[in-house]
Amino acid sequence: MPISRRTFLRSAAASALLPVVERPPTHLLPGPDGDGPPLAERAARKGLFYGCCAATAYLDDAGFAQALGREAGVLVPEWEGKRGRIERRPGVYDYSAADRLAGFARRHLMALRGHALVWHLSNPGWLDEALSVPGASDRLITDYIARVVGHYRGQIQSWDVVNEAVEVEDGRPDGLRASPWLKAFGPGYIDTAFHAARRADADAVLVYNDYGLSAADPWSASRRRAVLALLTGLRRRDTPCHALGIQGHLRAFGPRFDPDVFRRFLAEVAALRYRIIITELDVRDDGGPTAPAARDRAVADLTRRYLDVALDQPATLGVVTWGLSDRYTWLATPAEHRPGTPPPRPLPLDDALRRKPMWHAIAAAFDTARPRTHG
């Protein structure tokens, strides 16, 4: 029996998914150039939330920390919550970095998202080895989740329990990624992870998180089909997964965004009684004009079109950008940025922490979104 809407909302409210934290009134949080309330305030006015990821190193940047505390109502550790940082050695748990971000969130009355309990990347070397041993125990999943979710119980509004389990190119009929998790335990590892998270925290909203779900191209369409099949199976087996996290790594000059395609997908997810969170929104701006103003306009235009669809779906709970300022974006790392091309401008604030057209696009999307009547 899928969880009732009331149970979900009670758990969501209890886990601060719905903005239950009382942040200082807007006039105490002036925007840098006086163009109105910060994004967190605009979202909260509609019963939504806005937040972003950050890494502990960025908190030592006073200007950035001030902008973060002003704009975001939800914080996600960019990498401090991943297993490669928490359990570097088997059974030795180091929460120090993630705790620092949790402390920042608490001091700034922000909710906290947990990311990510089971992923095929950012794992410690010993884990990949342990998973490759025949007959490996799924306590490699359940013990870790029990410890980490238990450590943060009562602090986390929502957990990305399983991240990026779909990879259609791996050729499986179910479209699942042939990850070390799947090879060790079969597709049931996903259900195992969600049940373990539910046992460890009865209130946190539990999220399946993935990417490549937004554009109109055939690759994205195949991923949407695989994710819908995964979500349908979880529902059929009564697995405690409450929401789909749509990462939202967009391309301003990439595959076309078709609002009707995306709207239909969101409706199909909602019809399966899942909530929706846009969990890692940023917009790559390479492959088009090089002038920053033209790139900023294209990024803002796509952001607004995307969020107008996302926020028009009543099941959508909030928006998280993968970073706040171009000063700190994963898209500038060597793994993601082509040398010799202009630095990326994928986020709401520029590298001088000034609000960009993308910030105004997000603000306008919240301002025009219909208020949530969570009942």
Helix (H, G, I), strand (E, B) or coil at 206: strand
Q: Which is nearer to ligand XIL, 122 or 290 (CB)?
A: 122
> What is the smallest separation between the CB atom of 330 and ligand XIL, expressed in angstroms?
3
Block residue for tokens 């986390």:
156
Q: Which is nearer to ligand XIL, 134 or 334 (CB)?
A: 334
> What is the smallest separation between the CB atom of 226 and ligand XIL, expressed in angstroms?
17
- 166 forms beta bridges with 176
* Residue nearest ligand XIL (C-beta atom): 330
Non-local CB neighbours of 355 within 8 Å, separated by 6+ positions: 31, 32, 33, 35, 348, 349
Pure H helices in 251-356: 259-271, 292-312
List the x/- string, 326-345, binding to ligand XIL by CB under 6 A: ----x---------------
Q: Which is nearer to ligand XIL, 35 or 94 (CB)?
A: 94
Side chain identity, residue 191: D
> What is the smallest separation between the CB atom of 328 and ligand XIL, expressed in angstroms?
9
The torsion angles phi and psi of 141, rounded to 5 degrees, stand at -95, -55
Q: Which is nearer to ligand XIL, 53 or 317 (CB)?
A: 53
Q: Which is nearer to ligand XIL, 78 or 191 (CB)?
A: 78
Among 41, 71, 78, 326, which residue sits at the site for ligand XIL (rule: CB under 6 A)?
78
> What is the smallest separation between the CB atom of 123 and ligand XIL, expressed in angstroms?
12
Neighbours of 338 (CB within 10 A): 10
Long-range contact list for 360-365, CB < 8 A, 24+ apart?
360/35, 360/300, 361/300, 361/301, 361/303, 361/304, 361/307, 362/39, 362/50, 362/303, 362/304, 362/307, 362/319, 362/321, 363/36, 363/39, 363/42, 364/304, 365/303, 365/304, 365/307, 365/308, 365/311
Interface with ligand XIL, residue 80, by CB under 6 A: no
Among 66, 79, 120, 268, which residue sits at the site for ligand XIL (rule: CB under 6 A)?
79
> What is the smallest separation between the CB atom of 208 and ligand XIL, expressed in angstroms?
12
Among 163, 214, 303, 321, which residue sits at the site for ligand XIL (rule: CB under 6 A)?
163
Residues within window 186-245 making contact with ligand XIL, judged by CB under 6 A: none
Helix (H, G, I), strand (E, B) or coil at 118: strand
> What is the smallest separation between the CB atom of 33 and ligand XIL, expressed in angstroms?
28
> What is the smallest separation between the CB atom of 271 and ligand XIL, expressed in angstroms?
25
Q: Which is nearer to ligand XIL, 41 or 80 (CB)?
A: 80
- Token pair, residue 315, equals 């099941």
For 93, half-sphere exposure in the C-beta direction (CA atoms, 13 angstrom radius) is 15
> What is the smallest separation between the CB atom of 105 and ligand XIL, expressed in angstroms?
18
Non-local CB neighbours of 172 within 8 Å, separated by 6+ positions: 178
Residues within window 301-320 making contact with ligand XIL, judged by CB under 6 A: none
- Token pair, residue 8, equals 């979900």
Neighbours of 159 (CB within 10 A): 32
- Contacting positions for ligand XIL (CB under 6 A): 78-79, 116, 122, 163, 247, 280, 330
